């Protein structure tokens, strides 16, 4: 039994002796750890990681230091830490608690959130790492935990189990050495893919035989590229699931963090929204203000103190160490102390509030039932809440066509054989070209990668295989399914692939068998696929189907003109067309081709490139058979959505891999192009006629001449009298434009191109490779206006542009979940984009911009009196407010109302926003966070602060015999009330929650103050606030003063609002008034 | 079992339908009041605010017009004394000075007597923090925040400690009514001038059988003439830490110019209705030096109503803002009418 089978095969047929440099990018694996005896060969044991998956960031031990380190890498947190440390080290006016407590709060909340997330990851990791795995040790089956798996172990996987690591497929329980696998959790494709066992080992069916295997495998070092075709046909990837196969054996080659899945599982680059960027700019402005305030005060302090009777009067003497301190050191300490005193102008709590607002706010998106799709049972997904407000700022939408604008629900419409049209539903089909026709149908039956679902075991379905309707076809491409189903209706049924034989049921109900020799699989660059089959008669055929542009140049005979005209006609109608061609191969030709293919497939380096070269060699000299047409219906309300987006001032670009005619037809259908749109073409065809240079200049002349003669009203949008331009560009032309020119003036064409695009209301880019889509997005993104872009798509080919655009949106569609997973937001249908941008985006933007401005405003109001007070207390850094007020102002007295505003505010109703897309223009270009708005808010803050301070000052002047803490409390009371009421004035949507929060936080302030002043607090070393608040409330002038000051500080803002609304109303305000009156009128009528 | 195994969790083939709730909150359709700041809604509020402010302002001005206030700067009038005090070695030399003034009319009602200081930075931070509330609560404290007036060199603690207490105002001001060339001392109240809570809760003497023993082991602050338990020898309940002059001084003022309540006129005998018209004299025991920091001292007599003392600010501020609000109201109305006319013109 122990026949030692000494067998060395190397995966990739490459020997180890290739040299030192190859050592690095290949690895040698001894199957079953049967290492050669020492000395036989230059054996250097390689170290591989174990099979532990670690997606968690922290361990129990390093959580605190690592998390703290990461948190303090954020500039804001670091700034607050510095302030806190300064407070600890030097003698500062405010206690370290005032900044330490909020910082601690922020850090703790973030740490808890991150810790919880990491705990979840740990749990998931553990579940995976401890999952039992069967593997073979000394000829016996052993169960072990998954994490103990090592490279070289032989593993057994049963049906419906997931592969524990990347395996080389050794043998299968199926006789033909194949197995079926679904990679749903890797790339979302639920189709069953076939994998093949290594030829040399596929005969080993039980543990003992496998265990006896002596072999080494040489393979590439792990590579993360998941989007390349998933490895070779005998590499089973971790995360994929075994289907329709009882069990398989495989040897582990990549384990743990080196598996393809783990290598691909990496964080996407972080996108930052425009609001966040302007927030950071404002922060810097405030930081400058802060520093200059501190500087001014420090300088003034020393000027003021230059007279000794002020510096140290008899009643207020310095301590001994204070006197001795060096002047510069003293000045520096004073500067720091002033910084600390005014540091609240940049509030810690703003970051927490913004983050909470984004996080909680994003739930409203996922909760929206209008964005829930009943058919698929899917609702919107929010993958990152950082970009919520960016949804309200979109200027360009780049959309994919297939599956996004269209249903991707393909229906076979017709086929054209030798110029004659066949429609599946018409029963009487003339058979004229018997031979070509047979070939055409067989070509369609054979040339695909469709799988038939094995429904022997599925009880719900009929068992009779010969019945034509019982088969369920699965494929990653819906076009193929549509074609195979369409051909079924024309009388030819594809039954199954068994033992490398494809079985077809023909019109006469006979089963024909073809041996499948090679599959030259589809890729988006070649835009075609081929199969090589051997018929039962022994003839070898190569069938090819693909896009017309990739087939016609390779055809040497056939009725090219007739077919081409039919294809073009179909394309204009918006149908997806494919051409079918074939060639007959002699045995010699086939063996040549096979050899080429085999070499290319086994190449360790540049496999893709070599394969492409070989395909190019094989796929030529075709005989054209015919063409097919498949309809892809528009998604519901696609036209409505596009129209709304255009009205909202958003430019919509369609980027597709489809051919120009089809894509243009779709664009007309979804109203991207209208009847009066003048189409400009920038295509390869045109460029062949003229030079690129001339074409570009002609186009720009056309566009610009028109605009020059008209005074362009940018805000009226799509005025009827303005000429609409639509641009069509194809991939080849684009790459010419993008290509840097010899003389180095590459920017020239780009600028010209951008200029043309800017003046076109719609642009269609067809025949785009996935990377070109991203290129276009990048081009627009980096153009001089820096517009905010959004990319939406559903397939793996859209991932690159989704990642590139400011906001990436995935459609949870049929082509797998890759797009949805890589996106920032995912929605079930294209039509949901309308509500997402026009309603949710608009709301999010309005909410967060008010939140940001308000936060700065309320802290100016808070700190500016403190600054003014320095002029009256000899620049001694005396605080105006008590420590408790300093600490709690941002945390509790004024935080919840604005957070709630950030979640609930609706300045106009959602229905109105949806009905009037043009309102979106009101917030375009970061309108609410421009410098003007920012300066207004800041000045309002300064004005209010001046009113508070000097109002209270004159009130106190010479009259009331209250102390400094009463003065501070008076100012603070006016401040809290003014700031809260200012928010109340800005709130346009008062639910009971708003009432509760706004009045509640004022009541809370009063209760807190009563309590804080009501008790001699035993743990405090001062009792300065004792009874201060009550005493203030018991005095008439204080009441009168508070009421007056609140009124005076609010009135100017009210006045400004009313005047602006009256004199320069925005569209939103006009609508508000309109609906306000409508409601009033309706109310009056009903009350009559 | 295998479901848990798949690594990216959202990759499952079958997912349960996640149809969201239809609650008004989740759909952002909670019933709400939607106010709009339009001219129609805002105009009345401008006029109302204006009217209210004007009314209150006029009231305040009228009320404060019948208030009495007399402020006398005595830092110049007692120049001899102030010169004497400039040299700190003369600290124990007594110095008195008198300031005369005449009341042309009777002052009716409660009359308050204040002392005022100018240019005295009680709100300087170093000064503000130099006190010990715990000590003033009568507790025995080890930790102290009184620097630089905590203890003497020999370790004797000061009671009360700190710069504030140390610099307590120590002029004595007596008011005499000159009736027919005989001077009658106006009777005044020393107590009831501070906050009730300060007097009864915040300031406590250390507990002991008598006051001087309670302060045994402590010494008076360096600038004081007498120890704390001798502040008011006549009234036991106004002595030690609960002495109201001390309590009032310890409430640090907000600005460098301030006044503190000193005494109230006791309304008995001929002063039952207030101060009758006539000639008066302040007799001041001048102890508190102010010239060194260019300060000034005042003594102030004033009456008080519900709206505070005789500060015209509130009244004027109310009148001004009331006028402004009303004027703005008219301006907005004008703009509104003009625009509406234009609109209707266009519509026709």
Short-list A785, A767, A839, A751, CA closest to A651: A785
User: d(Cα A238, Cα A256) in Å, to the nearest integer?
Assistant: 9
CA A128, distance to chain mean position in Å, is 27
Short-list A76, A748, A739, A599, CA closest to A345: A76
Rg (CA), chain A: 36
Helices (H) and strands (E) in chain A, counts: 38, 34
User: d(Cα B159, Cα B204) in Å, to the nearest integer?
Assistant: 13
Q: Are A981 and A897 in contact (CB under 8 A)?
A: no
Q: What confidence score (pLDDT) does residue A13 get? A: 35
User: d(Cα A890, Cα A102) in Å, to the nearest integer?
Assistant: 9
User: d(Cα A137, Cα A143) in Å, to the nearest integer?
Assistant: 10
Q: Which residues of B touch A1061 (CB under 8 A)?
A: 37-39
B90 close to A (CB below 8 A) = no
Confidence of residue A745 (pLDDT cuts 50, 70, 90): low
Q: With an 8 Å Cβ cutoff, are A314 and B30 in contact?
A: no
For chain B, residues with pLDDT lower than 50 are: 1-16, 346-348
Of B7, B32, B197, the CB nearest to A185: B7
CA A631, distance to chain mean position in Å, is 30
Q: What confidence score (pLDDT) does residue A470 get? A: 54
Q: With an 8 Å Cβ cutoff, are A961 and B197 in contact?
A: no
Residues in chain B: 348
User: d(Cα B12, Cα B4) in Å, to the nearest integer?
Assistant: 10
Confidence of residue A950 (pLDDT cuts 50, 70, 90): very high
Chain A's closest residue to B43, CA to CA, is A1058
A375 close to B (CB below 8 A) = no
User: d(Cα A1001, Cα A985) in Å, to the nearest integer?
Assistant: 16
Q: Are A829 and A635 in contact (CB under 8 A)?
A: yes
Q: Are A415 and A629 in contact (CB under 8 A)?
A: yes
Q: Which residues of B touch A238 (CB under 8 A)?
A: 7
CA A741, distance to chain mean position in Å, is 33
Q: With an 8 Å Cβ cutoff, are B147 and A988 in contact?
A: no
Q: What is the mean pLDDT of residues A927-956?
A: 93
For residue A715, pLDDT beyond 60: no
Instruction: Give residue-wise pLDDT tens across range A1005-1015.
Output: 999 999 999 98
Q: With an 8 Å Cβ cutoff, are B310 and A1024 in contact?
A: no
Among A386, A400, A724, A944, the one annotated catalytic: A400
- What Cα–Cα distance (Å) separates residue B18 from each residue in A371, A772, A1026, B21? 12, 36, 55, 9
Q: With an 8 Å Cβ cutoff, are A315 and B202 in contact?
A: no
B142 close to A (CB below 8 A) = no
Instruction: Give residue-wise pLDDT tens across range A568-597.
Output: 888 777 777 889 998 888 888 888 888 888
Q: pTM for the whole thing?
A: 0.80
Q: What confidence score (pLDDT) does residue B16 get? A: 46
For residue A229, pLDDT beyond 50: no
What residue ranges do the domains of chain B occupy? 39-67+315-348, 68-303
Q: With an 8 Å Cβ cutoff, are B38 and A962 in contact?
A: no
- What Cα–Cα distance (Å) separates residue A463 from each residue in A458, A468, A470? 9, 11, 8
Helix, coil or strand: residue A353: helix
Chosen for mutation from B24, B29, B34 (greatest number of chain A CBs closer than 10 Å) is B34
Short-list B172, B168, B171, B173, CA closest to B248: B168
* Residue B92 main-chain phi, psi, to 5 deg: -100, 10
Structure tokens at B341: 């006319």
Q: Are A492 and A442 in contact (CB under 8 A)?
A: yes
DSSP A740: P
Chosen for mutation from A52, A145, A262, A315 (greatest number of chain B CBs closer than 10 Å) is A315
Of B128, B257, B318, the CB nearest to A878: B128
Share of chain A above pLDDT 90, in %: 23
User: d(Cα A271, Cα A387) in Å, to the nearest integer?
Assistant: 8
Q: Which residues of B touch A1055 (CB under 8 A)?
A: 328, 332
Q: Measure the N-to-C terminal CA separation of chain B; round to a whole number of Å.
A: 77
Q: Are A256 and A50 in contact (CB under 8 A)?
A: yes
Q: What confidence score (pLDDT) does residue A996 get? A: 95
For residue A775, pLDDT beyond 80: yes
For residue A63, pLDDT beyond 50: yes
DSSP A926: G
Confidence of residue A678 (pLDDT cuts 50, 70, 90): confident
DSSP A554: G
Q: What is the mean pLDDT of chain A?
A: 81
Give the strand pairing for A651-655 and A555-557: unpaired
Chosen for mutation from A1058, A1065, A1068 (greatest number of chain B CBs closer than 10 Å) is A1058
Q: What is the mean pLDDT of residues A452-461?
A: 50
Q: With an 8 Å Cβ cutoff, are B28 and A1058 in contact?
A: no
User: d(Cα B345, Cα A489) in Å, to the nearest integer?
Assistant: 70
In the block, tokens 């909760």 appear at A367
Q: What is the mean pLDDT of residues A515-522?
A: 84
| Angular region, A160: left φ>0, alpha ψ -120 to 50, beta rest | left
B343 close to A (CB below 8 A) = no
- What Cα–Cα distance (Å) separates residue A133 from each residue in A121, A167, A213, A257, A907? 21, 13, 20, 17, 58
Q: What is the mean pLDDT of residues A778-802?
A: 86
User: d(Cα B219, Cα B227) in Å, to the nearest integer?
Assistant: 7
A400: annotated active-site residue: yes
- Chain A and chain B share a number of CB contacts under 8 A equal to 296
Q: Which A positions 22-61 lie with beta carbon below 8 A of chain B? A: 53, 55
Structure tokens at A554: 């390779």
For residue A228, pLDDT beyond 50: no
For every residue of A649-678, DSSP letters joined together read: T-EEEEE-SS-HHHHHHHHHHTTSS-TTPE
Short-list A188, A131, A162, CA closest to A242: A162
Q: What confidence score (pLDDT) does residue A860 get? A: 94
- What Cα–Cα distance (Å) separates residue A1036 from each residue in A726, B58, B308? 72, 16, 7
In 3-state terms chain B splits into helix, strand, coil percentages (rounded to 5) of: 35, 20, 45
Q: What confidence score (pLDDT) does residue A948 get? A: 94
Q: What confidence score (pLDDT) does residue A693 get? A: 77
* Residue A422 main-chain phi, psi, to 5 deg: -120, 130
Q: Are A222 and A260 in contact (CB under 8 A)?
A: yes
Q: What is the mean pLDDT of residues A960-976?
A: 90
B204 close to A (CB below 8 A) = no
Chain A's closest residue to B221, CA to CA, is A315
* Secondary structure string (H, E, C) spanning A384-453: CCCCHHHHHCCCEEEEECCCCCEEEEEEEEEEEECCEEECCCCCCCCCCCHHHHHHHHHHHHHCCCCEEC
For residue A966, pLDDT beyond 80: yes
- State the complex-level ipTM: 0.93
Confidence of residue A12 (pLDDT cuts 50, 70, 90): very low
Q: Which residues of B touch A364 (CB under 8 A)?
A: 26, 28
Instruction: Give residue-wise pLDDT tens across range A13-39.
Output: 333 333 333 344 677 788 877 766 655
Q: With an 8 Å Cβ cutoff, are B32 and A874 in contact?
A: no
Instruction: Give residue-wise pLDDT tens across range A823-860.
Output: 889 999 899 999 999 999 999 999 999 999 999 999 99
User: d(Cα B344, Cα A53) in Å, to the nearest integer?
Assistant: 74
Q: With an 8 Å Cβ cutoff, are B28 and A318 in contact?
A: no
Least trusted range by pLDDT, from A155-164, A296-305, A469-478, A693-702 = A469-478
Q: Which A positions 843-882 lie with beta carbon below 8 A of chain B? A: 843, 872-874, 876-878
In the block, tokens 């007799």 appear at B283
User: d(Cα A30, Cα A252) in Å, to the nearest integer?
Assistant: 10
Beta bridge partners of A192: A182
User: d(Cα A881, Cα A1029) in Å, to the nearest integer?
Assistant: 12
Highest averaged pLDDT of the listed ranges A20-24, A196-200, A470-474, A904-908: A904-908
User: d(Cα B64, Cα A16) in Å, to the nearest integer?
Assistant: 105
Structure tokens at A268: 């996407």
Which residues, 6+ apart, have CB-to-CB distance to A453 below 8 Å?
A192, A471, A472, A473, A474
């Amino acid at each position: 039994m122990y026949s030692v089978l000494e067998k060395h095969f190397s995966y990739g047929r490459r020997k180890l002796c290739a040299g030192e440099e190859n050592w690095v990018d290949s690895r040698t694996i001894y199957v079953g750890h049967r290492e050669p005896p020492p000395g036989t060969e230059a054996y250097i044991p390689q170290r591989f990681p174990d099979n532990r998956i670690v997606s968690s960031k922290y361990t129990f031990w390093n959580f605190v230091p690592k998390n703290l380190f990461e948190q303090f890498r954020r500039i804001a947190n670091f700034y607050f830490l510095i302030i806190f440390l300064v407070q600890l080290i030097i003698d500062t006016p405010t206690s370290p608690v005032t900044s330490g407590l909020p910082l601690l709060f922020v850090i703790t909340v973030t740490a808890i959130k991150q810790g919880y997330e990491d705990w979840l990851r740990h749990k998931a990791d553990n579940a995976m790492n401890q999952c039992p795995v069967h593997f073979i040790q000394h000829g016996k089956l052993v169960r072990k935990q998954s994490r103990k798996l090592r490279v070289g172990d032989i593993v057994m996987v049963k049906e419906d189990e997931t592969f524990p690591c990347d395996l080389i497929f050794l043998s299968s329980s199926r006789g033909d050495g194949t197995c079926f696998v679904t990679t749903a959790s890797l790339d979302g494709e639920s189709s069953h893919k076939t994998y093949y066992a290594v030829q040399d080992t596929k005969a080993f069916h039980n543990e003992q035989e496998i265990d006896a295997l002596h072999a080494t495998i040489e393979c590439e070092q792990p590579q993360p590229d998941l989007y390349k075709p998933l490895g070779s046909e005998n590499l089973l990837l971790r995360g994929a699931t075994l289907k329709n196969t009882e069990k398989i054996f495989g040897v582990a080659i990549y384990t743990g963090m080196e598996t393809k899945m783990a290598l691909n599982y990496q964080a996407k680059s972080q996108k930052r929204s425009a609001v966040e960027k302007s927030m950071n700019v404002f922060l810097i402005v405030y930081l400058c203000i802060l520093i200059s305030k501190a500087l001014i005060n420090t300088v003034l302090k020393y000027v003021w103190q230059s007279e000794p009777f002020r510096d140290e009067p008899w009643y207020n003497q310095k301590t001994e160490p204070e006197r001795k301190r060096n002047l510069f050191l003293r000045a520096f300490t004073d500067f720091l102390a002033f910084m600390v005193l005014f540091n609240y102008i940049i509030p810690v709590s703003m970051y927490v509030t913004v983050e909470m607002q984004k996080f909680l706010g994003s739930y409203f998106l996922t909760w929206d039932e209008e964005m829930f799709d009943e058919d698929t049972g899917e609702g919107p997904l929010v993958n990152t809440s950082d970009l919520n407000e960016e949804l309200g700022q979109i200027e360009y939408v780049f959309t994919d066509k297939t599956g996004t604008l269209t249903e991707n629900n393909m229906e076979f419409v017709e086929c054209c054989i030798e110029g004659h049209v066949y429609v599946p539903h018409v029963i009487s089909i003339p058979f004229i070209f018997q031979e070509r026709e047979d070939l055409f149908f067989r070509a369609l039956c054979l040339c695909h990668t469709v799988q038939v679902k094995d429904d022997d075991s599925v009880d719900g379905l009929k068992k009779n295989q010969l019945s034509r309707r019982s088969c369920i076809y699965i494929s990653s491409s819906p076009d193929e399914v549509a074609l195979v189903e369409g051909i079924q209706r024309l009388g030819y049924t594809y039954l199954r692939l068994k033992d490398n034989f494809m079985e077809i049921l023909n019109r006469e109900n006979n089963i024909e068998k073809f041996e499948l020799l090679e599959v030259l699989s589809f890729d988006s660059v070649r835009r075609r696929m081929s199969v090589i089959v051997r018929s039962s008669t022994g003839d070898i055929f190569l069938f090819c189907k693909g896009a017309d542009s990739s087939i016609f140049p390779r055809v040497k005979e056939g009725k090219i003109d007739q077919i081409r005209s039919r294809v073009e006609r179909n394309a204009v109608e918006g149908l997806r067309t494919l051409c079918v061609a074939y060639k007959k191969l002699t045995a010699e030709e086939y063996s040549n081709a096979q050899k080429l293919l085999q070499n290319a497939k086994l190449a360790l380096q540049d496999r893709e490139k070599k394969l492409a070269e070989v395909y190019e060699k094989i796929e030529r000299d075709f005989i054209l058979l015919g063409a097919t047409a498949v309809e892809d219906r528009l998604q519901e309300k696609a036209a409505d959505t596009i129209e709304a987006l255009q009205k909202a001032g958003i430019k919509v670009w369609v980027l597709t891999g489809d051919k120009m005619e089809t894509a243009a037809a779709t664009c007309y259908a979804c109203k991207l192009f209208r009847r009066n749109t003048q189409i400009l073409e920038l295509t390869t065809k045109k460029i062949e006629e003229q030079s690129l240079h001339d074409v570009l200049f002609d186009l720009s002349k056309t566009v610009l001449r028109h605009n020059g003669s008209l005074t362009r009203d940018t805000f009226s949008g799509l005025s009827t009298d303005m000429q609409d331009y639509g641009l069509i560009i194809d991939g080849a032309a684009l790459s010419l434009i993008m290509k840097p020119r010899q003389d180095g003036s590459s920017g020239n064409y780009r600028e010209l191109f951008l200029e043309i695009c800017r003046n076109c209301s719609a642009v269609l880019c067809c025949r785009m490779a996935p990377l070109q889509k991203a290129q276009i997005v990048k081009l627009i993104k980096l153009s001089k206006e820096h517009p905010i872009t959004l990319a939406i798509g559903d397939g793996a080919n859209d991932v690159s542009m989704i990642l590139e655009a400011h906001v990436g949106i995935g459609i949870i569609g049929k082509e797998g979940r890759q797009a949805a997973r890589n996106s920032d937001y995912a929605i079930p249908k294209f039509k949901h984009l309308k509500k997402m941008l026009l309603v949710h985006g608009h709301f999010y933007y309005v909410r967060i911009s008010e939140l940001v401005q308000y936060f700065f405003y309320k802290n100016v109001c808070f700190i500016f009196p403190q600054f003014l007070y320095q002029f009256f207390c000899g620049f001694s850094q005396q605080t105006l407010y008590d420590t408790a007020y300093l600490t709690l102002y941002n945390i509790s007295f004024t935080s919840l109302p604005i957070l709630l505003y950030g979640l609930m505010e609706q300045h106009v109703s959602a229905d109105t926003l949806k009905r009037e897309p043009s309102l979106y223009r009101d917030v375009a270009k970061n309108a609410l966070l421009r410098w003007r708005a920012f300066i207004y808010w800041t000045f309002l803050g300064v004005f209010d602060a001046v009113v508070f301070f000097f109002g209270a000052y004159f009130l106190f002047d010479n009259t009331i015999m209250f102390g400094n803490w009463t003065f501070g409390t008076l100012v603070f009371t006016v401040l809290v009330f003014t700031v809260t009421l200012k928010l109340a004035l800005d709130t346009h949507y008062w639910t009971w929650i708003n009432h509760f929060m706004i009045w509640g936080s004022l009541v809370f302030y009063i209760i807190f103050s009563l309590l804080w002043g009501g008790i001699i607090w035993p743990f405090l070393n001062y009792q300065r606030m004792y009874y201060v608040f009550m005493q203030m409330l018991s005095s008439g002038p204080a009441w009168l003063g508070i009421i007056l000051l609140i009124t005076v500080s609010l009135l100017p803002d009210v006045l400004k609002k009313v005047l602006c609304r009256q004199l320069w109303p925005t569209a939103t305000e006009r609508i508000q008034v309109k609906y306000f009156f409508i409601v009033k009128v309706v109310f009056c009528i009903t009350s009559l | 079992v295998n479901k848990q195994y798949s690594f990216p969790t959202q990759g499952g083939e079958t997912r349960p339908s996640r149809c969201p709730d239809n609650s008004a909150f989740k759909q952002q359709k909670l019933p709400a009041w939607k106010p709009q700041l339009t001219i129609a809604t805002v105009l009345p509020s401008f006029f109302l605010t204006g009217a209210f402010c004007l009314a209150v302002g006029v009231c305040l001005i009228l009320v404060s017009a019948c208030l009495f206030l007399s402020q006398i700067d005595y830092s110049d009038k007692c120049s001899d004394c102030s010169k004497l005090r400039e040299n700190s070695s003369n600290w124990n030399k007594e110095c008195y000075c008198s300031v005369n003034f005449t009341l042309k009319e009777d002052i009716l009602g409660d009359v308050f007597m204040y002392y005022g200081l100018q240019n005295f930075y009680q709100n300087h931070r170093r000064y503000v923090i130099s006190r010990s509330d715990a000590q003033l609560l009568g507790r025995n404290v080890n930790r102290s925040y009184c620097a630089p007036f905590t203890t003497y060199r020999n370790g004797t603690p000061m009671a009360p400690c700190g710069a504030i207490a140390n610099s307590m105002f120590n002029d004595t001001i007596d008011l005499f009514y000159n009736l027919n060339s005989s001077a009658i001392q106006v009777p005044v109240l020393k107590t009831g001038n501070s906050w009730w809570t300060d007097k009864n809760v915040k300031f406590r003497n250390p507990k002991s059988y008598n006051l001087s023993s309670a302060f045994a082991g402590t010494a008076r602050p360096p600038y004081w003439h007498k120890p704390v338990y001798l502040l008011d020898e006549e009234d036991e309940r106004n002595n030690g830490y609960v002495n109201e002059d001390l309590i009032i001084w310890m409430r640090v003022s907000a600005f460098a110019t301030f006044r503190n309540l000193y005494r109230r006129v006791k309304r008995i005998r001929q002063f039952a209705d207030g101060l009758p018209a006539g000639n008066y004299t302040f007799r001041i025991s001048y102890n508190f030096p102010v010239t060194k920091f260019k300060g000034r001292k005042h003594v102030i007599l004033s009456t008080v109503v519900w709206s505070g003392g005789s500060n015209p600010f509130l009244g004027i501020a109310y009148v001004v803002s009331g006028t402004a609000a009303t004027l703005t109201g008219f301006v907005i109305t004008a703009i509104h009418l003009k625009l509406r006319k234009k609109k209707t013109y266009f519509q026709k």
